[in-house]
Structure 1
Amino acid sequence: MNMKKIVASLLLGSIILALAACGNEATSLNPQQSPPQNQEQATESKGLVDSAYQELFQDSVFFGDSITEGLSFHDVLQEENVLAGAGKTAEFALQDMDELTKRDPERIFIHLGSDDILWPTDNPKAYSMKNYAKLIGTIKEKLPQAKITLLTVTPVTAEAEQKEPRYKNINDYNQGLIELADEKNIGFVDLSPIFSNGSNDLYDSDGIHFKPEFYARMLDLLKDQAE
């Protein structure tokens, strides 16, 4: 393993444990509200965590839609480690292959599907999986050394699902991703453990996108993949 990645991983683990301990202490003091924190210390801690993530994923690219784009939008990762945009589907992501090839990452985390589910066709899942398979095949052809990992589509809040019933198909779509990853012999990571405690506080106001805390948890879940 790269020595920089070992140091970054150890730093990240120690920071996360320290932050978790602080969170447990806060809960014991007041289950409704954390105690006030010195702003300078909070900013310093966030900077250390971000730098550890950036070091650990320096040879990776997160490839996806507007949810993926939050990694760079919230400054959790550097822009060169994120290739994503609003409205991206597996089909549209094929247009970004030249840029992905130019970046030549060691690891590619693909996080697509939130827009594919909404695609106006008779069978959005089948249509998406066809293009997803083509995308994976193209990556393997142009970047044969890269390790590819598929990430599940993240759930939405009940309110968001009520406004857009097609989000009810997220679980079925994720099952398709499991089968696709197995068929193509590539990595797969289920992001659902992040939401195991009903973490509605991670969502942005639309109930679909996320606050910076979500991305910290996501990268913590993926850190073993980057080592």
Structure 2
Amino acid sequence: MKVQKKMMDITLIAMVALSVAACSTNGQPPASEMTRQAVDISTPEQTSYASQYQTSVFLGDSITEGLSYHDVLKDKNVLAGAGKTAEFALQDIDELVKRKPQHIFIQLGSDDILWPTDNPKEYSLSYYGQLIDRIKVRLPETSITILSVTPVTAEAEKAEPRYRNIGDYNEGLKELSSKVQVGFIDVSSIVSAHPDMYDADGIHFQAEFYPILLDYVKNELGRQKSAK
């Protein structure tokens, strides 16, 4: 019986190996990526940022999602996804309430400015305002800070001219933050200072960018607090 069981175990291992190999050749993540997604590997750096932002949630699109994708923050501290707009983020309020964050950082707009409407900025900011109002009602003790939309490379802007509106959109976010009385942090300067950290598409960022972003946000919050 022991020999039979051993043979069955060997057969099962072989089947798993073949399955992983098949996934890597059929448009699925390679084995190393699947392992990264399945196993929680905490580095000292991740532990540090996870501690600093343990009571925060970052709400945003695929750019914000990089915080958890690159293992800089835990999944519980990031509520983001590709294609998310201010309108779509309204669907996340129940989940935000469940997580009970003390601070919410919102970084939306990269997809909003591409929305097929006559005035994407006006359309988006109306929903952005609704989003903040609803968060305030459901989580009245939670601090809210808007983060500006990150600029793209010249090549990405050339490929999609609507990205030229990022600066104007960020001005709208700054005005909105003043109107609804929430925080605002313009992160454009750190992007300009680290142009080598873009991904190949010139829109998203490599893993090394996100610790810099979190350090900047922390320092800006401290500066703003001191200025009050």
Q: TM-score normalised to the size of structure 1?
A: 0.77
CA distance in structure 2 between the aligned counterparts of 1:85 and 1:191, rounded to whole angstroms: 20
- Partner residue of 1:220 out of 209, 215, 220: 215
Matching of residue 67 in structure 1 with residue 63 in structure 2: yes
Residue correspondence of structure 1 range 85-164 to structure 2 within 5 A: 85-164=81-160
After TM superposition, give the deviation of residue 201 of structure 1 in Å.
1.1
* Counterpart code for 2:53: F
Q: CA separation in 1, counterparts of 2:46 and 2:215?
A: 11
Counterpart residue number, 1:211: 206
The separation in 2 between residues aligned to 1:206 and 1:221, in whole angstroms, is 24
| Cα distance between partner residues in 2 of 1:200 and 1:174 | 19
Aligned match of 1:27: none
Q: Superposed, which structure 2 residues align to 1:22-33 within 5 Å? A: none
Higher relative contact order (CA 8 A, sep 6+): 1
5+ residue gaps, structure 1: 1-45
Partner of 2:43: 47
Q: Which residue of 1 is the match for residue 164 of structure 2? A: 168
**What percentage of residue pairs aligned between the two structures are identical?**
61
Comparing 205-214 with 73-82, greater Cα deviation is found at 205-214
- Structure 2: where are the runs of 5+ without partners? 1-41
Q: In structure 2, what is the Cα distance between the partners aligned to 1:123 and 1:79?
A: 34
Count of matched residue positions in the alignment of Structure 1 and Structure 2: 181
AA in 1 matched with 2:117 = T
Q: Which amino acid aligns with 2:143?
A: K
Task: Give the distance between the partners of 1:109 and 1:149, measured in 2 at CA.
Answer: 5
Q: Deviations over 1:179-220 (max 9, x none)?
A: 0000011100010120343x2211111110001111111000
* TM-aligned CA deviation for residue 72 of structure 1: 0.3
Q: What secondary structure, in the 3-state scheme, does the structure 2 residue paired with 1:92 have?
A: helix
1:8 counterpart residue number: none
What residue in structure 1 maps to residue 5 of structure 2? none
Match of 1:84 among 80, 84, 94: 80
Report the structure number with the largest CA radius of gyration. 2
Pair 1:186-2:185 in alignment: no
Aligned-residue Cα RMSD (Å) equals: 1.4
State the alpha-carbon separation in 2 of the partners of residues 187 and 102 from structure 1. Answer: 22
Deviation at 1:172, TM superposition (A): 0.1
Q: SS state of the match for residue 43, structure 2?
A: helix
Measure, in 2, the Cα distance between the counterparts of 1:108 and 1:57: 10
How far apart, in 1, do the equivalents of 2:97 and 2:201 lie? 33
Q: Structure 1 residues 184-193 or 112-121, which shifts more? A: 184-193
